[in-house]
């Protein structure tokens, strides 16, 4: 049985070896980046069984991505190689620690061609959790249909659905963004929006009211990400802020939200309380920001527990 199955696009990430405008870069290094595979990798490093569903171009980038993800002990049995469409690319421009720009080249990518026909009901039905983001339904109409079919399978087999809106406004080519985010939220067991996403969807700045709005749409558990301040959780048994972990050496914030999701799912799979799972999510999110790259900062269990223990000790001694 799989602990978590996730569905989405992963790309080859190019980052200049020097900071500054991309136009001035002459050398890049290549990494692997994708919100859903980040979560699968993070969970695998913490000792959980995870699987990733996607399409990759039958090209060198696709082969590199598959080899990397498979090398992290993530199950890739439901990854399809596409002989017609290419693997998506993603460039990261680092001007300063505080100013990081990203540019995607994913239109017409292999992953954007995902459809319900690509999904295995048996594969999804054997998972405890199905992890989805708002990125995948934004890629194409067929991707939207694939996500909705995955939800249908999960519901039928009582697989819990965890949804991170992860809104990328540049990807949406129509005005259905809010409608689709709320549609998926209403069908999910746990929703993990960011504070800015809550403001965008509901036009409200208050964490509690944003959480209540998602809750009213049908999500039994809403965990609103507040950055270094932590996360605000609302469920029928819990309603409180869980403080975050502040770090002084922030290098790259990209991927911190995925790390947060890893912590939540890992904690719940380990039988932790909701508060303990959120604390783990806050910790991994903080750890990811201290390392360049999407998955490079995702910890193994021993390092994670040491990080949490050390920072809690520092808080007590202040």
Residues annotated as catalytic (active site), given as ranges:
258
Terminal Cα-to-Cα distance of the chain (whole angstroms)? 45
**Tokens 């319900």 — which residue?**
116
Rounded Cα–Cα distance for residues 318 and 316 (Å): 6
The pair of structure tokens assigned to 188 is 């999910």
Q: Strand runs (DSSP E) across the chain, as ranges?
A: 2-7, 11-16, 28-33, 50-57, 79-82, 89-94, 100-105, 127-133, 160-164, 190-191, 221-225, 230-234, 239-243
Q: Running DSSP on this structure, what letter comes out for residue 111?
A: G
Pairing of strands 160-164, 221-225: unpaired
Asked if residue 51 lies in contact with residue 127, where contact means CB atoms within 8 angstroms, the answer is yes
Rounded Cα–Cα distance for residues 111 and 78 (Å): 13
User: Helix, strand or coil for residue 241?
Assistant: strand
53: which strand partners? Answer: 7
Residue 119: closest CA among 139, 147, 82, 141: 147
The pair of structure tokens assigned to 127 is 């998972």
Rounded Cα–Cα distance for residues 53 and 126 (Å): 14
């Amino acid at each position: 049985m799989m602990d978590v199955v996730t569905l989405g696009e992963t790309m080859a990430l190019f980052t200049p070896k020097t900071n500054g405008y991309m136009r001035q870069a002459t050398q890049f290094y290549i990494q692997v980046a994708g919100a859903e595979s980040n979560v699968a990798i993070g969970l695998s490093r913490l000792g959980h069984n995870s699987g990733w569903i996607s399409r990759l171009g039958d090209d060198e980038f696709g082969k590199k991505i598959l080899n990397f993800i498979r090398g992290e002990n993530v199950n890739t049995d439901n990854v399809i190689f596409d002989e017609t469409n290419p693997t998506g690319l993603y460039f990261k421009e680092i001007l300063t620690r505080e100013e990081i720009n990203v540019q995607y080249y994913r239109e017409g990518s292999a992953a954007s061609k995902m459809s319900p026909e690509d999904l295995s009901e048996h594969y999804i039905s054997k998972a405890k959790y199905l992890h989805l983001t708002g990125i995948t339904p934004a890629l194409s109409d067929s991707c939207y249909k694939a996500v909705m079919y995955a939800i249908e399978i999960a519901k039928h087999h009582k697989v819990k659905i965890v949804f991170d809106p992860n809104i990328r406004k540049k990807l949406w080519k129509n005005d259905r963004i809010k409608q689709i985010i709320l549609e998926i939220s209403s069908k999910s067991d746990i929703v993990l929006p960011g504070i800015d996403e809550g403001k965008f969807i509901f036009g409200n700045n208050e964490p509690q009211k944003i959480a209540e709005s998602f809750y009213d749409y049908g999500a039994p558990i809403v965990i609103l990400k507040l950055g270094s301040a932590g996360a605000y959780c609302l469920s029928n048994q819990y309603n409180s802020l869980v403080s975050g972990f502040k770090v002084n050496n922030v290098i790259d914030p990209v991927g911190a939200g995925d790390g947060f999701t890893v912590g939540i799912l890992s904690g719940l799979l380990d039988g932790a309380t909701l508060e303990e799972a959120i604390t783990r999510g806050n910790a991994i999110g903080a750890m990811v920001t201290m390392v360049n790259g999407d998955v490079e900062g995702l910890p193994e269990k021993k390092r994670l527990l040491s990080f949490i223990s050390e920072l809690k000790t520092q808080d007590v001694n202040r």
